[in-house]
Amino acid sequence: MTSSFARRTAIVGIGATEFSKDSGRTPMRLAIEACRAACADAGVDPSEVDGMSIFSMERNQEIEVARNLGIDEMRFFSMVPHGGGGGCGTVAMAAMAVHTGAAEMVLCYRAFNERSWRRFGSGVSGHHTGEEADDVSYSWSTPFGLVTPAQWAAIFATRYMHAYGATSADFGRIAVADRRHAANNPAAFFHGRPITLADHQESRMIADPIRLLDCCQESDGGQALLVTTVDRARDLAQRPAVVAAATQGVAADQWMMRSYYRDDITGLPEMGVVARRLWADSGLGPSDVRTAMLYDHFTPLVLPQFEEFGFCAPGEAKDFIADGAIEMGGRLPINTNGGQLGEAYIHGMNGIAEAVRQIRGTSVNQVEGADDVLVTSGSGVPTSGLILSVES
Amino acid sequence: MGTVGDEGVLDEAGLMALVGGVGAATRAPVPVDAEAIRLWCAAMGATDPAVLDGAVAPPAMLDVWSMVGMERGVGATATTDDPHHRAYGLLSDAGFSGVVATNSDHAYGRLLRPGDHLTRTTTLAAISERKTTALGEGHFVTTESDFVDEAGASVGTMRFTVFKFRPGTGRTAEPDGAAERPERPRPRCNADQAWHWEGMRHHELRIQRFPSGRLVHPPRLADPDTGEPAPMGPDGVEYDWVVASGDATLHSWTVTRHPPHPAFPDPNVVGLVDLAEGVRLISNVVGVAPERLEVGMPLRLDWHDTHEDVTLHRFRPAVTPRRDQPRPADTVVAGDRLPVEPVDVTVELVTGGAVATRDPQDVHHDPEAARARGLPDVFMNILTTTGLVTRWIGDWAGPGAVLDSVRVGLGVPTHPGDVLVLDGSVLEGTADEVDAATGRLELAFTAAVLRGDRTIGSHARGTATVVLPTGDRPTGDGEPA
């Protein structure tokens, strides 16, 4: 089975605020600025937007954003569940909506002050105090002190290291690549500040084996994307980034960041679900992709993504990424914006924008021959992914 | 110049003049005795067949035979004219009536057997200047004792230090700050899991069982194999379970460090645990230092009452059984670790240990007496600490190993309710010297105190010298370590 909307829609506008540790304004203001910028980028008046697609944890409701953008009528508004796993999912929803005619012009956005307001990395202790199944699910971990995203991820990392002989330095190579790319990106928080593997190894433990420099940044900022059909895109200001494929993924015994009860916890089977559909819908394979924006909230969960997408066999990511393979000039530079460790943590939406720039040929770290770019969303959660292509 | 004490003046000059004095040779009140050996083995958890039947005394009992013993009555002390006894008396009379042992260094000669009867000669080796510790202000008093048998041959020596302190001058606050700590986040449940949490109140780790026999954790609404929901009964959904055996291994883990959470220890070890029944759960792993965590390590179920009405499971390292084969010296290298062993400190262990080591001091069996000395409860005596450590080393070393010496330095006192975590390794640099000729190696050990869910400090640390069997030296039959 393949999806009928493959290669029928495109991201036509991208817009973001600056990325910072203290935006000095409200998340709603950031959302409005990002959405207006995305419309301006596409040459579309915000009043032409008739749909919105966001993901859960987004607290800037679409009706508020619509009111403030001057949108009078909307006929498509959708929320993808499970936080950071929903990033590419918002584009999948938008693409399906515009392809089916449910809407013509759909905004996808994410905006927050996750550094200067409540820090995102502080975890869920004190949350989930009800008795619904979702609340209850956290009781299998929270009372034991496993409460932050880094801690959840660390359990997978320890087992992965044990199973495959990966080391902290292997995780560090992801951070080094991200920070090298960020160093070249004026929009990145860590512009001009690359790190070495030694810096990574000296950074303090957050939750063994995850070090400070394995963790994405808590950031303030907003990122918006505008989606319409390929036909409509031809009339707009930018070279369209065609959505060759976009899909979501859940696998057996799926939990939010805590899928600890599967026989084998060294993989990301939900990412495998995404991978198989993306390759099938796009007609592409690992060897066709020159660059990828792989979700990098915590470096240990980047490694199994290479494996789930077939860039290498299970357990071999540490070898695949060695020797600068994932840095500029290597065979698969990743996160050319600096990723969420180097540019900003905008819940993966900034990675989609970077993929659009690669397709347009406007990235600060432009990869030659980047005609097809892979993007993934949150790892360890119900997730999503997409492949953007130049219009053929 | 004297110092005014609670009950008198300390004659410091007179006190210091006693240093170097040698006491009279004193015959031990009891001979080496099989029943006393068996009692000691029971208290220390010894399973070594070489000592269990009482035919040979564990070397760590060296000073047990010369202890005053319970037969003289509770709180009895020797009151001789020996210099060290005079020093203790001078200090007590000046208000330094509290006493705790701080160091015990044994060096052993030949093994002792029932029928041996020791004579002890004690020299007052040193008295420290006034010191202030957590217990209060006082003086460290060090003695050196030589033990000889009836033929006059030396069978061991001991250097022993006590701290004579003025009760009430120390810190009284709980060392772990338990009072200020918020409660852990409460687990939440509904009818689909309430039976599981209810089991924990009874120290039952309940694993959901479906009619097909399939075991599942965390609980589900339906059997993952058949898709059949748990059956409905007259009173609603009928949940079924088995009670976990408690045997487990560590599937994965993390140590949470930042941000610290005030309700949890810092650092806090969270484990993903495989139960022997084939299901997995998140829990805490206690009684093992983070650097000793290993995927696959055997664990044993334990319990932690975290709230007035909530009990959580937790796991500790499973106790490694005593080695039943000789451990050849050439199989040991520097850095080898001894298996971590958590020991529950109970009233039975503290008091039974005091009785088994012939220690009549009331602070080891009478909580009121302990509180009068400024301690919250009865505490373990140093002979029990030494006994536990040497028993544990012997269990690692196996048959044929001989304990040559042990040096124990005490830190924080340990009380009933604590878990004493024994950990140790073969000292770097010494294993190279474990030459095939002697089989002698030095071990370093610690005994950390786990109180509640926190490691509050080190109860004891020290070293021991063990002689392992070598290729040239036939392993002793029945020679204990």
- Could you write out the three-class secondary structure of chain A? CCCCCCCCEEEEEEEECCCECCCCCCHHHHHHHHHHHHHHHHCCCHHHCCEEEEECCCCCCHHHHHHHHCCCCCCEEEEECCHHHHHHHHHHHHHHHHHHCCCCCEEEEEEEECCCCCCHHHCCCCCCCCCCHHHHHHHHCHHHCCCCHHHHHHHHHHHHHHHHCCCHHHHHHHHHHHHHHHHCCCCCCCCCCCCCHHHHHHCCEEECCEEHHHECCCCEEEEEEEEEEHHHHCCCCCCCEEEEEEEEECCCCCCCCCCCCCCCCCCCHHHHHHHHHHHHHHCCCHHHCCEEECCCCEHHHCHHHHHHCCCCCCCCHHHHCHHHCCCCCCCCCECCCCHHHHCCCCCCHHHHHHHHHHHHCCCCCCCCCCCEEEEECCCCCCEEEEEEECCC
A211 bridge partner residues: A205
Domains and CATH numbers, chain B: 3-172+321-467 (3.10.129.10), 178-317 (no CATH)
B chain contacts of residue A138, beta-carbon cutoff 8 Å: 188
A chain contacts of residue B261, beta-carbon cutoff 8 Å: 123, 125, 145, 147
Nearest CA in chain A to B259: A122
Q: What is the pLDDT of residues A168-205, one digit of tens each?
A: 999 999 999 999 999 999 999 999 999 999 999 999 99
pLDDT class for B173, splitting at 50, 70, 90? low
Contact state of B282 with A141 under an 8 Å Cβ cutoff: yes
Q: Which two tokens stand for residue B309?
A: 């009405």
Q: Which two tokens stand for residue B212?
A: 């097909």
pLDDT score recorded for residue B478:
45
Measured CA to CA, the distance from residue A273 to residue B45 in angstroms comes to 54
pLDDT class for B176, splitting at 50, 70, 90? low
**Mean pLDDT of the A125-154 span:** 91
Measured CA to CA, the distance from residue A282 to residue B236 in angstroms comes to 50
The reply to whether A155 falls in a domain is no
Measured CA to CA, the distance from residue B337 to residue B349 in angstroms comes to 26
End-to-end Cα, chain A, rounded Å: 23
B182 interfaces chain A, CB cutoff of 8 Å: no
Measured CA to CA, the distance from residue A38 to residue B310 in angstroms comes to 52
B258 interfaces chain A, CB cutoff of 8 Å: yes
**Mean pLDDT of the B421-449 span:** 84
Measured CA to CA, the distance from residue A94 to residue A111 in angstroms comes to 18
**Which run of H or E residues covers position B383?**
helix B382-397
Measured CA to CA, the distance from residue B245 to residue B243 in angstroms comes to 6
B105 bridge partner residues: B159, B407
Contact state of B257 with A207 under an 8 Å Cβ cutoff: yes
Is A279 a residue whose pLDDT tops 80?
Answer: yes
Of A123, A136, A145, the CB nearest to B270: A145
pLDDT score recorded for residue B69:
81
Q: Which two tokens stand for residue A191?
A: 């512009």
Q: Which residues contact A357 (CB under 8 A, 6 or more apart)?
A: A14, A337, A363
Contact state of B190 with A128 under an 8 Å Cβ cutoff: no
Query: One-letter amino acid identity for A350?
Result: N
A chain contacts of residue B265, beta-carbon cutoff 8 Å: 145
Is A77 a residue whose pLDDT tops 60?
Answer: yes
Of B251, B261, B306, the CB nearest to A125: B261
B chain contacts of residue A205, beta-carbon cutoff 8 Å: 255, 257-258
Q: What is the pLDDT of residues B11-24, one digit of tens each?
A: 889 999 999 999 99
pLDDT score recorded for residue A41:
98
Q: A20 near A221, Cβ under 8 Å?
A: yes
A345 is catalytic: yes
Measured CA to CA, the distance from residue B363 to residue B414 in angstroms comes to 12
Of A125, A141, A158, the CB nearest to B295: A158
A chain contacts of residue B254, beta-carbon cutoff 8 Å: 146, 151, 154-155, 157-158, 207-210
Q: What is the pLDDT of residues A203-261, one digit of tens each?
A: 999 999 999 999 999 999 999 999 999 999 999 999 999 999 999 999 999 999 999 99
B73-87, B201-215, B412-426: least confident range: B73-87
Q: Which two tokens stand for residue A371?
A: 């005609």
Is B436 a residue whose pLDDT tops 90?
Answer: no
Measured CA to CA, the distance from residue B442 to residue B302 in angstroms comes to 32
**Mean pLDDT of the A63-87 span:** 95
CA B113 to chain centroid, in Å, comes to 26
pLDDT score recorded for residue B75:
57
B137-146, B309-318, B433-442: least confident range: B433-442
The reply to whether A151 falls in a domain is no
Which of A202, A177, A209 shows the shortest CA–CA distance to A190?
Answer: A177
Say if residue B438 is exposed, middle or buried (CB neighbours under 10 Å; 0-12, 13-18, 19+).
middle
Contact state of A139 with B281 under an 8 Å Cβ cutoff: no
B chain contacts of residue A136, beta-carbon cutoff 8 Å: 188-190, 192-193
Q: What is the pLDDT of residues A299-327, one digit of tens each?
A: 999 999 999 999 999 999 999 999 999 99
**Mean pLDDT of the B313-335 span:** 93
pLDDT score recorded for residue B432:
65
Is B5 a residue whose pLDDT tops 50?
Answer: no
Beta-carbon-side half-sphere exposure of residue A227 (alpha carbons within 13 Å): 37
* Alpha-carbon distance B220 to nearest alpha carbon in chain A (angstroms): 10
B190 interfaces chain A, CB cutoff of 8 Å: yes
B387-406 residues touching A, CB cutoff 8 A: none
End-to-end Cα, chain B, rounded Å: 49
Nearest CA in chain B to A261: B280
- Helix, strand, or coil (residue B127): strand
B75-104 residues touching A, CB cutoff 8 A: none
**Mean pLDDT of the B26-53 span:** 94
Nearest CA in chain A to B184: A143
Q: What is the pLDDT of residues B260-276, one digit of tens each?
A: 999 999 899 999 999 99
The CATH number linked to A221 is 3.40.47.10
The reply to whether A314 falls in a domain is yes
Average pLDDT, chain A: 96
Contact state of A155 with B263 under an 8 Å Cβ cutoff: no
pLDDT score recorded for residue A124:
78
Query: One-letter amino acid identity for A291?
Result: T
Which of B114, B162, B122, B104 shows the shortest CA–CA distance to B361?
Answer: B162
Query: One-letter amino acid identity for B13?
Result: A
* Alpha-carbon distance A210 to nearest alpha carbon in chain B (angstroms): 9
Q: Report the residue of B188, B215, B304 to disrupt the A interface, i.e. the one with the largest count of A CBs within 10 Å.
A: B188
B455-474 residues touching A, CB cutoff 8 A: none
Is B178 a residue whose pLDDT tops 90?
Answer: no
The reply to whether A301 falls in a domain is yes
Buried b / exposed e over A149-171, threshold 16 CB at 10 Å, is bbbbbbbbbbbbbbbbebebebb
pLDDT class for B168, splitting at 50, 70, 90? confident
Contacts 24+ apart (CB under 8 A), A192-199: A197/A169, A197/A172, A197/A173
Q: Percent of chain A at pLDDT above 70?
A: 100
Q: What is the pLDDT of residues A88-122, one digit of tens each?
A: 999 999 999 999 999 999 999 999 999 999 888 88
pLDDT score recorded for residue B179:
64
Q: Kindly report whether the peptide bond that precedes residue B211 is cis, defined as omega within 30 degrees of 0.
A: no
The reply to whether A100 falls in a domain is yes
Q: Which residues contact A281 (CB under 8 A, 6 or more apart)?
A: A2, A3, A6, A244, A245, A247, A387
How large is the greatest C-alpha to C-alpha distance in chain B, in angstroms? 88
pLDDT score recorded for residue A304:
98
For chains A and B, what is the number of CB pairs under 8 angstroms? 123
* Alpha-carbon distance A83 to nearest alpha carbon in chain B (angstroms): 22
Q: Give the number of domains in chain A.
A: 1
Contact state of A162 with B252 under an 8 Å Cβ cutoff: yes
The reply to whether A162 falls in a domain is no
B218 interfaces chain A, CB cutoff of 8 Å: yes
The reply to whether A97 falls in a domain is yes
pLDDT score recorded for residue A194:
98
The reply to whether A40 falls in a domain is yes
B chain contacts of residue A122, beta-carbon cutoff 8 Å: 259
Q: What is the pLDDT of residues B184-212, one digit of tens each?
A: 999 999 999 999 999 999 999 999 999 99
How large is the greatest C-alpha to C-alpha distance in chain A, in angstroms? 57
Whole-angstrom CA distances from A326 to A172, A186, A197, A319 are 12, 20, 14, 11
Of A130, A136, A207, the CB nearest to B255: A207
B295 interfaces chain A, CB cutoff of 8 Å: yes
* Alpha-carbon distance A148 to nearest alpha carbon in chain B (angstroms): 9
Measured CA to CA, the distance from residue A342 to residue A364 in angstroms comes to 14
B232 interfaces chain A, CB cutoff of 8 Å: no
pLDDT score recorded for residue B473:
52
Measured CA to CA, the distance from residue B119 to residue B416 in angstroms comes to 34
pLDDT class for B433, splitting at 50, 70, 90? low
pLDDT score recorded for residue B238:
93
Q: A11 near A245, Cβ under 8 Å?
A: no
Identify the domain containing residue A278 by its residue range.
Answer: 9-118+215-389
**Mean pLDDT of the B352-358 span:** 96
pLDDT score recorded for residue B272:
98
Better pLDDT: A55 or B471 = A55
Measured CA to CA, the distance from residue B205 to residue B215 in angstroms comes to 13
Is B181 a residue whose pLDDT tops 50?
Answer: yes
Q: Report the residue of A119, A129, A137, A144 to disrupt the B interface, i.e. the one with the largest count of B CBs within 10 Å.
A: A144
Average pLDDT, chain B: 90
Q: Which two tokens stand for residue B285?
A: 């792993």
Beta strands in B293-411 (DSSP E): 298-307, 310-317, 337-344, 402-410
